[in-house]
């Protein structure tokens, strides 16, 4: 994007034609850089976690494993993701609506609070072994006050950023900048923001009492209350990711191939399904709760019936986004046959390959495993095993992180106005990261479900010399090697991404308006359907075939999960 009416605080993007409020641009840059720093910290921690899992406690001691897993969890699952989502919210509310960002000073204060929160949490973990509490610091285990204060400050900063987002949209509608109906991408961002408000408020309900407890100002924190409120924060935080990820999918489908959504009304309905039911997925963390506080019917209803409304929303998006890509390609002359549109897609564009890998790997690995793991009966096999970690990799890593990496290849030239350095590496990066993390995810899910390998044990080789130690079958170590190799490939892919982003921001060529327009132009315009009728669009028949294949795979895996309940783990063989 380049200069224009700078005197009025705006410039006009030569690629999209959108008005960019200059304070918004600077905020997006600062928040995105902060997010990448969190990604770097989490990635370094990931390397040591992988080495412990693969090569054992002689390489990474169990005590240090818990430190690295805490750093990895907080920075990857919360800090990197939420910071990047805040940048997306500012982009959606201000840039996509060509309007000013309301309360920019508050936005800077919110970023400051979030950065201080990240620093406090990370330093607390590294400084004090008492804080080696994994990503699930269950009461009565107690951390130091700074361990709880960090997430509290991060939460306050995030809520402040959300206030800026909602105020900007409200002001844009009040000033007639936008009509009553928001663009689909902004609508999806708003859904993610609403989920975020509920998530962060519940997070405060968990961490503020724990903070007071760590100071000695309250006598105790009820263990079940902590577990309930903590997972009311921990799991919905990933549902923010889900809504934001799919929002990015729609945006990338448009900006890479001129994607046309088959029916925006249906896609909006799918987002509403998330608002109604997605946070019910938190219940699967409480399936093995032994206190009796949660009844069996409550567990059944929340994990087996109501939550499927959210699954319906995901199934709609699973068809709509690939269909948008196919329709865009067919409108641009790639309409022959069933899959020519896919063959002729811009695979040399790392944003597009990141999009496709994110959709496919999230669907087949993350989404499918999430529905299975979140169901009351199969949860018995998955709970607290490496399979849960494999599921996380399929969702937060292969889904959300890959999508965010993909959109970054447009953020760098259009917001930072820098030419991406190392373009050949950028083309390879999504494949290296995606394939590597997919290998790790598959191996972890196999090891957890079939062999019961634990997720939180720092020494799965000797179990610290415990009398209850036992040897795993030989195939466990073969699969652990697959996970280790995949993990190293994923870390390498992540390192390349961080290196290219840093190199571009610091050393990338400053792009002129003409260079931006010539090198990053949107796909050529096509005639709009007469009257906007859906039936005027090309039929996405290739997507229909691919979606049916996915549905059959999903059904087979779901039924297989119930069949596995009749088998036992080969302990001691």
Q: What three-state secondary structure class fits 418?
A: strand
**Given a cut of 60, is residue 457 above it in pLDDT?**
yes
**Given a cut of 70, is residue 147 above it in pLDDT?**
yes
Q: Summarize the confidence of residues 502-518 as an average pLDDT.
A: 90
d(CA 324, CA 318): 11
CA atoms within 13 A on the CB side of 527: 8
What dihedral angle (degrees, nearest 10) is formed by the CA atoms of 158, 163, 165, 168?
-160
Q: Which residue has the higher pLDDT, 212 or 2?
A: 212
**Given a cut of 90, is residue 6 above it in pLDDT?**
no
3-state secondary structure 1-45: CCCCCHHHCEEECCCCCCEEEHHHHHHHHHHHHHHHHHHHHHHHH
Cβ-contact 99, 171 below 8 angstroms: yes
Confidence of residue 518 (pLDDT cuts 50, 70, 90): confident
Residue 277 pLDDT: 83
Cβ-contact 399, 358 below 8 angstroms: yes
Q: Of the given ranges (23-37, 427-441, 484-498, 504-518), which has the lowest mean pLDDT?
A: 504-518
Q: Summarize the confidence of residues 499-526 as an average pLDDT.
A: 83
Into which CATH architecture does domain 6-521+537-565 fall? Up-down Bundle (1.20)
Residue 285 pLDDT: 76
**Given a cut of 90, is residue 460 above it in pLDDT?**
no
Confidence of residue 232 (pLDDT cuts 50, 70, 90): confident
Residue 484 pLDDT: 96
Q: Of the given ranges (232-236, 250-254, 432-436), which has the lowest mean pLDDT?
A: 232-236
Best CA proximity match to 182, nearest among 197, 168, 196: 168
- Consecutive H or E run containing 551: helix 541-563
Helix axes 236-257, 350-361, angle to 10 degrees: 140
Q: Of the given ranges (16-20, 31-35, 364-368), which has the lowest mean pLDDT?
A: 16-20
Residue 225 pLDDT: 87
Residue 525 pLDDT: 46
Best CA proximity match to 430, nearest among 359, 367, 366: 359
Q: Which residue has the higher pLDDT, 192 or 179?
A: 192
Cβ-contact 493, 429 below 8 angstroms: yes
Cβ-contact 538, 331 below 8 angstroms: yes
Residue 516 pLDDT: 85
CA 540 to chain centre: 27
3-state secondary structure 78-115: HHHHHHHHHHHHHHHHHHCCCCCCCCHHHHHHHHHHHH
List the end-to-end C-alpha distance of the chain, in Å, as a whole number.
62
Helix axes 104-127, 81-90, angle to 10 degrees: 170
Residue 245 pLDDT: 97
**pLDDT tens, 257-285?**
999 999 999 999 999 999 888 877 777 77
Q: Summarize the confidence of residues 326-339 as an average pLDDT.
A: 89
**Given a cut of 60, is residue 235 above it in pLDDT?**
yes
d(CA 138, CA 386): 19
Residue 67 pLDDT: 93
**Given a cut of 60, is residue 338 above it in pLDDT?**
yes
Residue 305 pLDDT: 61
Cβ-contact 480, 443 below 8 angstroms: yes
- Consecutive H or E run containing 390: helix 386-392
Residue 4 pLDDT: 41
Confidence of residue 8 (pLDDT cuts 50, 70, 90): low
Helix axes 62-73, 104-127, angle to 10 degrees: 170
Percent of the chain with pLDDT strictly greater than 70: 93
**pLDDT tens, 282-321?**
777 777 776 677 777 777 777 766 767 888 999 999 999 9
Q: Summarize the confidence of residues 209-237 as an average pLDDT.
A: 89
Residue 381: is the preceding peptide bond cis (ω within 30°)?
A: no
CB atoms within 10 A of CB 503: 15
**What would the DSSP string read from start to end of 428-478?**
HHHHHHHHHHHHHHHHHHHHHHHH--BSS-S-TTTGGG-TT--PPPHHHHH
Q: For the chain, what are the domain ranges?
A: 6-521+537-565
């Amino acid at each position: 994007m380049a200069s224009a009416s700078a005197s009025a605080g705006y410039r006009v993007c030569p690629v999209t034609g959108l008005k960019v409020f200059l304070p918004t641009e600077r905020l997006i840059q600062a928040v995105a850089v902060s997010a990448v720093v969190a990604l770097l910290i989490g990635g370094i921690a990931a390397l040591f976690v992988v080495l412990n899992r693969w090569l054992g406690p002689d390489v990474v001691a169990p005590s240090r494993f818990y430190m690295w897993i805490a750093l990895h969890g907080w920075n990857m699952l919360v800090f990197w993701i939420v910071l990047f989502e805040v940048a997306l919210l500012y982009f959606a509310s201000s840039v996509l609506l060509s309007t000013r960002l309301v309360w920019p000073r508050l936005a800077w204060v919110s970023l400051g609070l979030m950065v201080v929160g990240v620093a406090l949490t990370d330093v607390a973990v590294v400084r004090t072994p008492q804080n080696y509490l994994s990503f699930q610091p269950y009461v009565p285990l107690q951390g130091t006050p700074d361990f709880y204060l960090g997430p509290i400050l991060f939460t306050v900063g995030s809520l402040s950023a959300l206030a800026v987002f909602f105020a900007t949209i409200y002001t844009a509608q009040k000033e007639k900048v936008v009509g009553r109906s928001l663009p689909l991408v902004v609508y999806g961002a708003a859904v993610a923001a609403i989920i975020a408000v509920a998530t962060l408020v519940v997070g405060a309900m968990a961490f503020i009492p724990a903070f007071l407890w760590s100071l000695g100002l309250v006598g105790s924190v009820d263990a079940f209350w902590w577990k309930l409120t903590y997972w009311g924060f921990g799991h919905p935080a990933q549902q923010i990711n889900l809504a934001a990820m799919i929002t990015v999918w729609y945006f990338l489908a448009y900006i890479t191939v001129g994607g046309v959504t088959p029916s925006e009304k249906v896609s909006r309905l799918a987002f509403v399904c998330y608002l109604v039911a997605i946070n019910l997925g938190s219940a699967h963390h409480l399936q093995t709760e032994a206190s009796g506080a949660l009844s069996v019917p409550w567990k059944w209803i929340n994990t087996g019936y109501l939550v499927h409304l959210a699954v319906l929303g995901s199934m709609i998006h699973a068809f709509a986004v690939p269909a948008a890509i196919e329709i865009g390609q067919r409108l641009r002359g790639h309409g022959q046959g069933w899959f020519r549109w896919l063959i002729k897609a811009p695979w040399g564009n790392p944003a597009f390959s990141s999009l496709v890998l994110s959709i496919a790997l999230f669907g087949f690995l993350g989404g499918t495993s999430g529905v299975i793991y979140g169901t009351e009966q199969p949860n018995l096999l998955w709970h607290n095993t490496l399979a849960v970690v494999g599921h996380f990799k399929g969702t937060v890593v292969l889904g959300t992180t890959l999508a965010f990496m993909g959109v970054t290849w447009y953020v760098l030239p259009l917001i930072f106005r820098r030419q991406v350095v190392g373009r050949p590496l950028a083309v390879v990066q999504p494949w290296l990261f995606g394939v590597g993390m997919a290998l790790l995810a598959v191996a972890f899910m196999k090891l957890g479900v079939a062999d019961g390998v634990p997720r939180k044990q720092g020494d799965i080789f000797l179990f610290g010399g415990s009398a209850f130690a036992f040897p795993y079958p030989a195939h466990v170590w073969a699969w652990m090697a697959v996970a280790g190799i995949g993990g190293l490939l994923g870390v390498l892919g992540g390192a390349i991404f961080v290196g290219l982003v840093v190199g571009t921001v610091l050393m990338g060529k400053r792009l002129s308006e003409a260079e931006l327009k010539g090198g990053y132009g949107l796909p050529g315009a096509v005639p709009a359907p007469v009257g906007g009728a859906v039936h005027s669009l090309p039929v996405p028949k290739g997507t229909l075939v691919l979606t049916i294949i996915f549905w059959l795979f999903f059904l087979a895996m779901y039924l297989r999960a119930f069949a596995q309940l009749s088998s036992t783990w080969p302990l001691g063989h």
